[in-house]
């Protein structure tokens, strides 16, 4: 028997067209976009342009990183993101005068994280459908944030922190550094830690994970708490760098983040996914947005093109998966 | 045992939530406003609830079939701008029909994505939400279109019959017809079967894909109807008219008691949810509560009801949950199908 | 034997060949089923039984071969066509819709109509008639999801019977039934047979085949091996035909000196499930927990592991009294549970064998931050080798493995947690003969190494062969404790059905 058990580990996993598609699709897509971009416009492949693109997408990218954990753990999606972004931004600017920028920013983070924790309790512990729960909390939090500022705009006061947020280190804007930093923490968190393994297990089969002594409720709740925190961080950073904030500051961010995660290839049903792939997804969505502008399309076309790409990517993935499943 | 009465109370509260809500709104409105409990108010509540109502009604079969449609708002916007844009081109009535047809067409696109390309409905309709919201902005260059014949749509919201306006009458009729279809005809029952356990339904010879596709097309039809009526009665086709409608529509359906996991729900329950939500909104508005504060109340209500439902149905302890998990097991483990 | 008139052939499948990419699933298989016979089909998992049945049901098209039903050749063989030609399938997994009523389920796909509406009166009457025929008192108006699993199984049968089929396939129908329900099922099958219906009966339980079958066909590796009269074959012969070799020791039993107490449960209760259960397991000992489905066996197991904690009673593990209120506490206390519902609660299908193996103990191979991937791989490869996981590719997702191998992985993941007490709930259900022997071997080794085992099984011969002692549950109460020497199928069954309450 034992002689037959030769290590045949690597034989099968990478050879199917589906697996090949899913490993190579992201780098290829990025490459294709870069090629199209450099052909289409001389200003595309410049440090300046690319830095701007990344800078503009780091905010929503942060949320996509959190949303990856939500989807992987079978939490479908967090639709309360815009509310938590608004909370983070408005609390920061609203409290700036009374408690100073640093503390105000912390307050903003705290309040948004609280929103995430509430989501986590409702979804992880009370086991309410995530779509409903986050629609509800989103509605409440957005209302509260508007109540807070009476529905209008809040302006920032100049501060050292906002100067820092707007600055660059080694020629790369702080915004991008923060995104890279968070991604570098979250990638091993999902791929290499017990918590990451738990997330994959909870998303893969909730009951079996529970019966394997995985802290299922905590794991699911933590994903939402994390996303709340990151949405808050996004809000704080946006408010400080823009110098103003309105309640609609994060509108649509939930969809962009979901799009990035899905383009990255994480299953909406949970059980698989990776932060690195989400980073790829964020890059792809960012480049598409940039190309649309450089190619002279109206900016309203962004949704149309991203939507079409989501359908294409997920459709092809589903096709390969079905084909592989038939073996 | 000592929790028994509390549990019963909770169960009843969930069961009769619509009645409780309507009564509470009536009492609150009646106390806080002099002219709240009038036929006029009732007419207004009904009429204003119609647009969200159509969307919610269209969403009901989709949810019963175990799917979700996030694109209803975008479909509504597209239908609205089509209606207004086509008015001078092909005449008022054909333009209205064209608006509804656009809804049906986008519904068919959703159906195609879900049924043929096997894309999860959450993702597929998220994508079409983005695509058609974006298209609506592109087509109109982000400005609302105004109608060349603003008079044509006015009768829709005029007095019709006692508390009804023509469009609320259509809405009520549609809800009742859908109820009859869902509860009393074989195809209606089959829809529940598909949502409750699609593989089992398929093995009984039910064309599950056909039912799922139909539910998306119906959703498109009702979103088209909502967009057409909204644009005609306001004499404007706004590219963002539908964007804010998704959350109230889902809230109404869920308050009514239709389950997101499929297999349960009814159009009359949705009707109840729409009315309760509409009454609450109107009462708050009459009291001068700003719309963002209303959103707080709606959101809280949604969370409260759904948590209560969860807690009450989870009552009786983990024991029933364990038994249920055994019972539910075959649902999670579909029969050996082609890909086994 | 006698020269009766030859019975009419209900179904003839000739030269059926079916291959999937890389696998020859069926090769030139012939099968002939007569009207009014119960024809058993046996074979290991992967022998081709289910592929053959899926071809019969129209889900697969054969590459070659012909199907003849009632003397007529079958063309355009689709599930719909198969159904309309009178073929009914009863799978071990239920094909029912939890949110509809029993009557609606029975008529699903063909509800009686009056005008455009469902004729509820006719539908309920039809359901009542069929349920009555099956000797059950299930109310046709009940929501299906509110029934117990074994009642649902009967509804499943009623659904097929209601279509008045001439050929009925039972695929592992008794796996979720208790003895009483199995008796009812056999009565139903006999009645159907006597009415001239051809029955195909697929089961791993050879005793059942001996009891209910008229003829038996053995498949192995996608080929037809033999068709014999059941009267002229013994279970041992069947087994050797199935595996192609003699399997002289199906249940190996190590004789070991029993050690000190591993588990002692006193007065354990959960309202509505079990009451005042007292039992113990010693080191090196395999203790059986017998009882009918619904007797509280699974509930006791879940409670000891912490899935549904005890309401009253004490648990003592290796001399220490412990509180187990969650699976985490269960694992910490040294308890492991291999659950009954493998697909639902045992495996994470999308994760690899490696990730499944280490799930409960992942925190133990982690430093302050990260998992030691190298160490994990080493542990897992060794374990897969020891448990003979086949194919030995630990990076493949678990859902591509056979049921028996999945079960080995579930067992293995709990062995890794190094429990003092291993609880097994139906560890070999739906597992083929070869894997079953492997699993028994693993369990035996665990006991040999000093663990205690509490094992639940509906298969009495298995319990009798493996266990040192058997506790019997009847309606949530321990009705007997039987030593290995005194344990017979009769003694256990009497206690399980409440006919004998021993001290």
- Integer Cα distance of C36 and C32 in angstroms: 12
Q: Indicate yes or no: CB of A188 within 8 angstroms of CB of C370.
A: yes
* Residue C2 lies inside a defined structural domain of this protein: no
Q: In terms of CA atoms, which chain B residue is nearest residue A301? A: B134
DSSP label at residue C345: I
Chain C residues lying within 8 Å of A211, measured CB to CB: 305, 307, 327, 337, 339, 345-346
Quick: pLDDT tens for A9-66.
333 444 456 666 667 788 888 899 889 888 888 888 888 888 888 888 999 999 999 9
Report, as an integer, the average pLDDT of B100-126: 92
Residue contact C109–B189, C-beta within 8 A: no
Instruction: Report pLDDT digits (tens) over B50-92.
Output: 999 999 999 999 999 999 999 999 999 999 999 999 988 898 8
pLDDT digits (tens, 9 = 90+) for A66-86: 999 999 999 988 989 999 999
- Evaluate whether C298 touches C341 at the Cβ level (below 8 Å): no
Query: Is there a single domain that holds both residue C206 and residue C312?
Result: no
Asked if C314 is an interface residue toward chain B (Cβ–Cβ < 8 A), one would say: no
Q: Note whether B206 contacts C271, CB cutoff 8 Å.
A: no
**Residue B339 in contact with partner chain C when CB distance is under 8 A:** no
Boundary of a domain, candidates C216, C243, C270: C243
Q: Please, which residues bridge with residue B168 across strands?
A: none
Tens of pLDDT, residues A277-319: 999 999 998 998 888 888 888 878 888 888 888 888 788 777 7
Stretch A169-195: mean pLDDT, rounded?
A: 92
Predicted confidence (pLDDT) per residue in C256-315, tens digit: 777 788 999 999 999 888 999 999 999 999 999 998 777 889 999 999 999 999 999 999
pLDDT at B111 over 90: yes
Q: Looking at C198, C216, C243, which one is the last position of a domain?
A: C243
Same domain, residue pair C314 and C168: no
Q: Assess B27–A contact: CB distance below 8 Å, yes or no.
A: no
Q: Name the residue of chain C whose CA is nearest to A327's CA.
A: C21
CA angle A301, A305, A308 (to 5 degrees): 140
Question: Do C285 and C423 share a domain, yes or no?
Answer: yes
Best to test chain B binding among C99, C107, C476 (most B CBs inside 10 Å): C99
Kindly tell me if the per-residue pLDDT of C358 is higher than 70: yes
The mean predicted confidence, pLDDT, of chain B is: 82
Clarify whether residues C43 and C164 are in a common domain: yes
Number of domains forming the structure of chain C: 2
The CATH code of the domain that includes C146 is 3.40.50.300
C305 lies in the same domain as C349: yes
- Please check whether residue A78 is in contact with residue A119, taking contact to mean a CB–CB distance below 8 angstroms: yes
Cross-chain Cβ contact A214/C344 below 8 Å: no
Residue C501: inside a domain, yes or no? no
Contacts of B134 in chain A (CB under 8 A): 300-305, 307
Asked, for residue C186, whether it belongs to a domain, the answer is yes
CB contact under 8 A, C96 and B334: no
Average pLDDT for C465-486: 90
User: Is residue C54 a part of any domain in this protein?
Assistant: yes
CB contact under 8 A, C371 and A194: yes
Question: For residue C180, is pLDDT > 80?
Answer: no
- Using DSSP, state whether A16 is helix, strand or coil: coil
Domain assignment present for residue C256? The answer is: no
- C279 within domain boundaries: yes
Contact A30, A284 (CB under 8 A): yes
3-state secondary structure of C69: strand
Same domain, C198 and C311: no
- Rounded mean pLDDT, A254-265: 88
With a cut of 80, say whether residue A266 has pLDDT above it.
yes
CA distance C487 to chain A (A): 32
Shared domain check, C270 and C233: no
Picking from A188, A204, A211, the nearest residue to C337 by CB comes out as A211
> Chain C, 438-457: which have a CB under 8 Å from a chain A CB?
none
Higher pLDDT: C56 or C71? It is C56
Among residues B231, B213, B244, B240, the alpha carbon closest in space to that of B98 is found at B231
By C-alpha distance, the chain A residue nearest C389 is: A5
B339 interfacial to chain A (CB closer than 8 Å): yes
Strand, coil or helix: what is C392? coil
Q: Please report residues of A whose CB lies closer than 8 A to that of C22.
A: 327
Contact A213 C363 (CB under 8 A): no
Q: Which residue range is the domain that position C23 belongs to?
A: 9-243
CB atoms within 10 A of CB B154: 11
Q: Is B323 in CB contact (< 8 Å) with chain A?
A: no
pLDDT in tens, B238-291: 888 888 888 889 888 988 888 777 888 888 889 988 988 888 888 888 888 887
Interhelix angle for B92-111 vs B208-234, to 10°?
A: 150
Q: Provide the 8-state DSSP code for C6.
A: P
Q: What is the pTM of this model?
A: 0.81
Q: Is residue C209 part of a domain?
A: yes
Both C179 and C294 in one domain: the answer is: no
pLDDT band at A178 (very low <50, low <70, confident <90, very high): very high
Tokens of C29: 């298989």
Specify if C434 maps to a domain.
yes
Q: Could you give phi then psi for residue C143, rounded to 5 degrees? A: -70, 130
Candidate from C20, C346, C350 with C-beta closest to A204: C350
Is C326 found in the same domain as C190? no
The alpha carbon of residue B39 is apart from the nearest alpha carbon of chain A, in Å, by: 31
C243, C273, C296 — which closes off a domain? C243
Q: Nearest to residue C154, comparing CAs of A264, C165, C140, C164?
A: C140
Collapse the DSSP code of A169 into the 3-class scheme (helix H, G, I; strand E, B; otherwise coil) and give the result: strand
Position B22 confidence tier, pLDDT thresholds 50, 70, 90: confident
Residue B333: per-residue pLDDT: 31
The answer to whether B292 contacts A146, with C-beta atoms less than 8 Å apart, is yes
Rounded to the nearest angstrom, the minimum Cα separation between C257 and chain B is 37
Chains that touch A (3 or more CB pairs under 8 A): B, C
C238 plus C274 within the same structural domain: no
Q: C404 to each of A110, A255, B1, C23, C42, how far by Cα in Å? A: 50, 43, 44, 18, 16
Distance from CA of B22 to the nearest CA of C (A): 28
Question: What is the three-class DSSP state of C262?
Answer: strand
> Using CB atoms and an 8 Å cut-off, which of residues 325-344 of chain C contact chain B?
340-341, 343-344
Q: What is the mean pLDDT of residues B205-231?
A: 94
Chain C touching partners, 3 or more CB pairs below 8 A: A, B
Residue of A nearest to C363 (CA): A194
Do A293 and A299 form a contact (C-beta atoms < 8 A)?
Answer: yes
DSSP-derived secondary structure letter, A279: H
Q: Quick count: other Cβ atoms within 10 Å of Cβ B100?
A: 22
Q: Are B273 and B63 in contact (CB under 8 A)?
A: no
Candidate from C307, C348, C363 with C-beta closest to A205 = C348
Domains and CATH numbers, chain B: 25-315 (1.10.3470)
B-contacting chains (≥3 CB pairs under 8 Å): A, C
Same domain? For C296 and C398 the reply is yes
CA distance C196 to C166: 8
Instruction: Tell me whether B340 touches chain C (CB under 8 Å).
Output: yes
Q: Kindly state whether B303 is in contact with chain A, defined as any CB-CB distance less than 8 angstroms.
A: yes
Give the angle subtended at the CA of B187 by the CAs of B183 and B192, to the nearest 5°. 60
Query: Do C193 and C276 lie in a common domain?
Result: no
pLDDT at C370 over 60: yes
CB contact under 8 A, A268 and B137: no
Q: Is the previous residue joined to C391 through a cis bond, with omega within 30 degrees of 0?
A: yes
């Amino acid at each position: 028997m034992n002689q037959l058990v030769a290590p045949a580990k690597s034989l099968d996993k990478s050879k199917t067209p589906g697996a090949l598609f899913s490993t190579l699709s992201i780098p290829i897509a990025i490459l294709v976009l870069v090629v199209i971009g450099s052909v289409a416009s001389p200003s595309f492949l410049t440090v300046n342009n690319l830095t701007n693109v990344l800078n503009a997408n780091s905010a929503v990218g942060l949320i996509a990183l959190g949303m990856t954990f939500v989807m992987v753990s079978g939490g479908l999606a967090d639709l309360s993101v815009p509310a938590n972004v608004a909370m983070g931004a408005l609390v920061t600017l609203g409290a700036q005068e009374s408690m100073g920028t640093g503390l105000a920013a912390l307050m903003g983070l705290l309040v948004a994280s609280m929103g995430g924790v509430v989501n986590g309790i409702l979804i992880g512990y009370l086991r309410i459908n995530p779509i409903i729960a986050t629609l509800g909390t989103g509605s409440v939090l957005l209302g509260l944030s508007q109540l807070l500022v009476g529905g209008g705009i809040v302006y920032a006061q100049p501060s050292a922190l906002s100067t820092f947020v707007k600055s660059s280190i080694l020629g790369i804007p702080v915004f991008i550094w923060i995104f890279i930093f968070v991604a570098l923490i979250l990638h091993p968190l999902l791929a290499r830690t017990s918590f990451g393994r738990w997330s994959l297990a909870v998303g893969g089969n909730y009951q079996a994970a529970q019966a394997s002594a995985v802290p299922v409720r905590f794991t699911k709740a933590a994903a939402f708490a994390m996303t709340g925190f990151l949405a808050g961080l996004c809000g704080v950073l946006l408010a400080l760098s823009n110098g103003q904030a309105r309640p609609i500051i994060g509108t649509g961010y939930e969809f962009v983040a979901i799009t990035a995660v899905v383009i990255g290839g994480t299953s909406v049903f949970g059980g698989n996914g990776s932060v690195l792939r989400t980073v790829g997804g964020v890059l792809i969505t960012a480049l598409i947005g940039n190309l649309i502008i450089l190619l002279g399309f109206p900016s309203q076309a962004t949704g149309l093109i991203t939507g079409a790409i989501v359908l294409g990517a997920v459709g092809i993935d589903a096709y390969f998966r079905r084909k592989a499943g038939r073996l | 045992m000592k929790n028994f009465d509390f549990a019963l109370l909770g169960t009843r509260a969930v069961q009769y939530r619509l009645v409780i809500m309507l009564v509470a709104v009536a009492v609150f409105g009646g106390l806080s406003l002099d002219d709240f409990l009038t036929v006029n108010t009732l007419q207004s509540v009904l009429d204003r609830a119609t647009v969200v109502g159509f969307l919610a009604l269209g969403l009901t079969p989709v949810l019963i079939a175990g799917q979700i449609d996030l694109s209803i708002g975008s479909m509504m916007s597209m239908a609205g701008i089509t209606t207004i844009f086509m008015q001078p081109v092909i005449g008022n009535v054909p333009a209205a029909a064209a608006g509804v047809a656009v809804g049906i067409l986008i519904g068919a696109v959703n159906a195609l994505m879900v049924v043929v390309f096997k894309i999860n409905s959450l993702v597929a309709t998220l994508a079409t939400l983005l695509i058609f919201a974006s298209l609506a902005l592109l087509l109109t260059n982000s400005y609302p279109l105004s109608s060349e014949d603003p008079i044509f749509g006015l009768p829709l919201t005029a007095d019709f019959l006692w508390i009804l306006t023509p469009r609320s009458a259509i809405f009520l009729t549609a809800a009742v017809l859908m109820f009859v279809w869902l509860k009393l005809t074989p195809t209606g029952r089959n829809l529940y079967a598909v949502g409750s356990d699609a593989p089992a339904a398929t093995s009984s010879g039910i064309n599950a894909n056909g039912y799922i596709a139909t539910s998306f097309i119906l959703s498109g039809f009702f979103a088209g109807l909502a967009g057409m009526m909204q644009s005609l009665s306001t004499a404007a086709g706004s590219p963002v008219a539908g964007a804010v409608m998704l959350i109230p529509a889902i809230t109404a359906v869920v308050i009514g008691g239709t389950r997101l996991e499929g297999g349960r729900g009814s159009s009359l329950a949705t009707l109840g949810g729409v009315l309760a939500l509409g009454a609450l909104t109107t009462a708050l508005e009459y009291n001068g509560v700003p719309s963002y504060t209303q959103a707080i109340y709606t959101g809280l209500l949604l969370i409260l009801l759904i948590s209560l439902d969860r807690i009450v149905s989870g009552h009786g302890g983990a024991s029933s949950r364990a038994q249920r998990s055994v019972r539910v097991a075959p649902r999670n483990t579909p029969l050996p199908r082609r890909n086994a | 034997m006698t020269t009766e008139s030859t019975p009419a052939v209900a179904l003839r499948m000739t030269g059926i060949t079916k291959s999937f990419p890389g696998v020859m699933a069926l090769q030139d298989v012939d099968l002939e089923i007569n009207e009014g016979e119960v024809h058993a089909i046996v074979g290991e998992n992967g022998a081709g039984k289910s592929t053959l049945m899926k071809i019969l049901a129209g889900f697969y098209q054969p590459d070659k071969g012909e199907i003849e039903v009632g003397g007529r050749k079958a063309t355009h063989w689709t599930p719909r066509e198969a159904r309309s030609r009178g073929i009914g399938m009863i799978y071990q997994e239920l094909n029912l819709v939890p949110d509809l009523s029993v009557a609606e389920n029975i008529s699903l796909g063909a509800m009686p109509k009056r005008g455009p509406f469902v004729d509820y009166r006719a539908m309920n009457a039809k359901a009542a008639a069929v349920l009555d025929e099956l000797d059950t008192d299930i109310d046709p108006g009940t929501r299906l999801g509110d029934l117990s699993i074994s009642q649902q199984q009967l509804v499943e049968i009623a659904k097929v019977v209601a279509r008045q089929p001439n050929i009925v396939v039972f695929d592992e129908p008794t796996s979720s039934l208790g003895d009483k329900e199995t008796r009812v099922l056999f009565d139903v099958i006999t009645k159907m047979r006597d009415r001239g219906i051809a029955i195909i009966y697929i089961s791993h339980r050879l005793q059942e085949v001996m009891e209910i079958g008229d003829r038996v066909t053995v498949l192995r590796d996608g080929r037809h091996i033999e068709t014999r009269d059941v009267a002229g074959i013994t279970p041992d012969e069947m087994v050797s035909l199935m595996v192609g070799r003699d399997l002289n020791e199906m249940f190996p039993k190590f004789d070991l000196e029993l050690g000190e107490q591993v588990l002692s449960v006193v007065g354990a209760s959960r309202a509505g499930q079990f009451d005042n259960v007292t039992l113990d397991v010693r080191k090196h000992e395999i203790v059986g927990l017998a009882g009918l489905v619904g007797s509280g066996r699974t509930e006791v197991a879940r409670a000891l592991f912490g899935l549904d904690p005890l309401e009253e009673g004490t648990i003592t593990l290796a001399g220490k009294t412990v509180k187990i209120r969650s699976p985490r506490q269960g694992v910490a206390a040294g308890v492991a549970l291999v659950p009954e519902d493998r697909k639902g609660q045992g495996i994470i299908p999308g994760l690899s064998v490696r990730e499944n193996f280490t799930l409960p103990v992942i925190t133990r191979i982690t430093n302050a931050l990260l998992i030691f991937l190298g160490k994990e791989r080493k542990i897992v490869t060794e374990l897969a080798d020891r448990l003979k996981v086949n194919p030995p590719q630990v990076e493949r997702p678990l859902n591509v493995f056979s049921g028996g191998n999945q079960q080995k992985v579930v067992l293995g993941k709990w062995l890794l947690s190094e429990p003092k007490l291993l609880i097994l709930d139906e560890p070999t259900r739906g597992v083929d003969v070869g894997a079953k022997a492997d699993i028994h071997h693993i369990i035996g080794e665990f006991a040999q190494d000093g663990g205690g085992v509490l094992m639940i099984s509906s298969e009495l011969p298995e319990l009798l062969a493996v266990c040192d002692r058997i506790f019997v549950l009847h309606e949530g109460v321990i009705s007997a404790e039987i030593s290995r020497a005194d344990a017979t199928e009769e003694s256990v069954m009497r206690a399980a059905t409440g006919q004998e309450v021993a001290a």
